[in-house]
A and B are shown apart, each in its own frame.
Chain A
Amino acid sequence: MAPRPARAAALVVLLVLLAAGCRERPVADGPVTLVFKHAKILGPADPVPGLLRRFEAEHPGVRVQSEALTWSSDEQHQFYVINLEGGSPPFDVMMLDVIWVPEFARAGWILDLTPFVPAAERDAHFASAIEPAVQAGRLWALPWFMNVGLLYYRTDLLAKYGLAPPRTYDELIRQVRLIQAGERDPRLDGYLWQGKQYEGGMVNVLEALWANGTRLLDETGRPFPEPERARESLAFLRGLIESGVSPGWVTAADEELSRRPFGDGRAIFLRSWPYALDLFELPDSRVRGRVGVAPLPGLPHGTVGAASTGGAHLAVSARSRHPALAVALVRFLTGEAAQRAMTEGAALRPSRPALYADPGLVARDPTLPALLPLIRAGHPRPVTPYYLMLSTTLQPEFSAVLVGRKSPARAIRDGAAQVEHLQQALAR
């Protein structure tokens, strides 16, 4: 009973599906098409389409096709790696997280921008934004927007108890205790931050290390050059949870999970990025007008304001078929006019210091000038092509400390061993 007709039908269905699957990507002929891959811009209005139309108007015969990336940073990275490794990626201009730029440059995936970008244009951006984009003296990407870690605090609560924003974490803890005792609200949390096992959690740990005057790698690349100070930093973070200053769930919190309770008025302090301020100042926000920003506090051996900078850069694919035009698009989007439009439209901060004193922008957002010194005091995460490998190797160790499964000393020992094993592979 060989079901011949059924088998033939199955074959036909199969062929049709195969044909559908092997469908070629439509090639746009006629005008030159640049493909621009970027993550969705959050905020009240998306300024990117308008900017792209302006570019098209200035460059007749050129079309810019905007394609959105997935939401999570890890996925975006995997997407880029798979496509760029394969040979001919179907895009020209890419938005990159600043931490990926050295990696992509080292892998030979992005175009050297040095011949196209005059020194004056380079210097118009923050030094801490240009630094990660420079490898072996060459420039590989241009900063698009800037981020820096901030301490958010409830101005009304601090004023009620006659307190100024804390300069040290000891002060912060004392202020939390004072306010919690006074308010007697069991739902009022003290200090919220991001302790989940992901890149954001790594940022928080790095800031704690810098706040205590130590760093992750020294100049030779050795991990944890001052292990005792690193141990203190990790013990401090774990101590925040054990003492109840931070609720236990911060070990699972990312930016959004920590922002919401603060935005609902249920926390005194929050560590987050500048985008949160725009959301706190929305008309329907419960903490509107009651939020202030301050530099991150310091620990005994370190300084105030040791925040991490971040943000996105724009780079050109090394295999782009229209490199000159792609570079022009990058320079346009990172230029002063475009960054001004982005700051007005979205919850983003420019990477050009000059714009922080721009009268028009300051009128719309009076907190801009205050951010300038905070950004200047911040530093980038370790600038190395292997940063992501480093981060994903150490994240589980730090996470184990935060949930109380490992002592800080052990985590540092184990983490150092893993990093050294990694470096053995990377040594050439």
Chain B
Amino acid sequence: MSDRRLGWLLLAPALLLLGGLTVYPAIWVIWLSLQYRIPVFSISRWAGLAHYAFLAVDTRFWSAAGVTAAFAVASVALECGLGLGMALGLRGQRHGRRAAVALLLLAWALPSVVTAKMFEWLYHPAGGLVNFLLGGRPVNWLGDPALALPSLIAADVWRTTPFVALLCYARLLTIPAELYEAAEVDGAAGVQAFARITWPLVRPILLVALLFRTLDALRAFDLMFVLTGGGPAGTTETLTVYAYRALFQTLQVGFGSAIGVVVFALVMVVAVAYLRLIHRQEASA
């Protein structure tokens, strides 16, 4: 059989699965968002852009969008900064490298629900370690509207920094030591060495990490849903949580799909923008 035919044959099963369970739903969700659809009551009729028109003036939607943006920006900025710092700290590691990476990756590998429950307990006003270490002050981390979002961000940063740290660490390992030795000879050390050697070489990988992490932060659901449920008073309700509540609590499949489509579009726009940025960086480098 020809190579072309074999190629299609080998590709077909995967394409079938993807087509049915990823591509088709991605198109279907747009169709659903244009309908009034409440399966429980057998309601199914055309709505046109009514859901989107409502979202445009819905304060809850804009609040959720704000929370999503704040969460993404703060989370990603902290992760990248901390991740780079960790990688720099790990760079000279000679003994116990495997143990170091294991400890690091542990936070990343745990199920998000486990992390959520872990932090819920850490933040507990009476039984939590955080308040204990603060001398027993009964701070209500997850119940105070001003503290809930920062607490959530802290949990997410803890969970995802290892990924960035690992990427940076791998890149740092490939920088030959001779470069630093040569710089020392030239009289540049410490911060200057970082600015002249490390940063230009690590920046591309950091940009890639930024891309991945931003996309993940925009799509994040598990942590905020289990840790705070979007509360208190919607201060941790991201677009994903709003969409989920609309879908499975109020059973409005059409309306919930509309919010899902907005998240979809947002993620795609950010992805394209980032990729363009990365390609331009590579072109100019």
Chain A interface residues (CB < 8 Å from chain B): 74, 78, 81, 85, 103, 106-107, 197, 249, 251-252, 385, 388-389, 392-393, 396, 399-400, 402-406, 410, 414, 417-418, 421-422, 424-426, 428
A396 touches B237 (CB 8 A): yes
Cβ of B143 under 8 Å from chain A = yes
**Alpha-carbon distance A326/B249, docked complex (angstroms):** 29
A338 → chain B closest CB, angstroms: 31
A349 → chain B closest CB, angstroms: 29
**Alpha-carbon distance A424/B249, docked complex (angstroms):** 18
Chain B interface residues (CB < 8 Å from chain A): 36, 38-43, 47, 50, 54, 57-60, 140, 143, 145, 229-235, 237, 245, 248-252, 254-255
B118 → chain A closest CB, angstroms: 20
B229 → chain A closest CB, angstroms: 8
For B142, give the chain A residue with the smallest CB separation.
Answer: A252
Chain A residue numbers with a CB within 8 Å of B60 are 396, 414, 418
Instruction: Please name the 7 residue pairs, one residue from A and one from B, whose CB atoms are nearest each other, closest first.
Output: A400-B233, A425-B36, A389-B250, A252-B143, A392-B249, A403-B233, A399-B233
A249 touches B231 (CB 8 A): no
A327 → chain B closest CB, angstroms: 24
A359 → chain B closest CB, angstroms: 46
**Alpha-carbon distance A106/B41, docked complex (angstroms):** 7
B140 touches A426 (CB 8 A): no
**Alpha-carbon distance A416/B222, docked complex (angstroms):** 30
**Alpha-carbon distance A424/B54, docked complex (angstroms):** 11
Provided the pairs A396-B234, A400-B233 are in contact, do residues A422 and B250 lie with their beta carbons within 8 angstroms? yes
**Alpha-carbon distance A403/B148, docked complex (angstroms):** 12
Provided the pairs A425-B47, A426-B43 are in contact, do residues A405 and B252 lie with their beta carbons within 8 angstroms? no
B233 touches A197 (CB 8 A): yes
For A400, give the chain B residue with the smallest CB separation.
Answer: B233
A80 → chain B closest CB, angstroms: 11
Chain A residue numbers with a CB within 8 Å of B50 are 424
A396 touches B233 (CB 8 A): yes
For B242, give the chain A residue with the smallest CB separation.
Answer: A396
For B237, give the chain A residue with the smallest CB separation.
Answer: A396
**Alpha-carbon distance A81/B39, docked complex (angstroms):** 11
A418 touches B40 (CB 8 A): no
**Alpha-carbon distance A385/B250, docked complex (angstroms):** 12
**Alpha-carbon distance A424/B237, docked complex (angstroms):** 24
Of residues A81, A107, A417, A421, which shows the largest number of chain B Cβ atoms within 10 Å of its Cβ?
Answer: A421
B38 touches A197 (CB 8 A): no
Of residues B57, B143, B229, which shows the largest number of chain A Cβ atoms within 10 Å of its Cβ?
Answer: B143
A400 → chain B closest CB, angstroms: 4
**Alpha-carbon distance A47/B54, docked complex (angstroms):** 50
**Alpha-carbon distance A277/B249, docked complex (angstroms):** 32
A226 → chain B closest CB, angstroms: 22
**Alpha-carbon distance A323/B43, docked complex (angstroms):** 28
Which residue from B229, B234, B248 sits with its C-beta under 8 Å from A78? B248
Known: A107-B42, A400-B234, A418-B60. 4 other contacts (CB 8 A): A85-B40, A396-B60, A399-B232, A403-B232
Chain B residue numbers with a CB within 8 Å of A418 are 58, 60
25 cross-chain CB contacts under 8 A: A85-B39, A106-B41, A107-B42, A197-B229, A197-B233, A251-B143, A389-B249, A389-B252, A392-B249, A392-B250, A396-B230, A396-B234, A399-B233, A403-B232, A405-B145, A405-B234, A414-B60, A417-B57, A421-B54, A421-B58, A421-B255, A422-B252, A426-B38, A426-B41, A428-B43
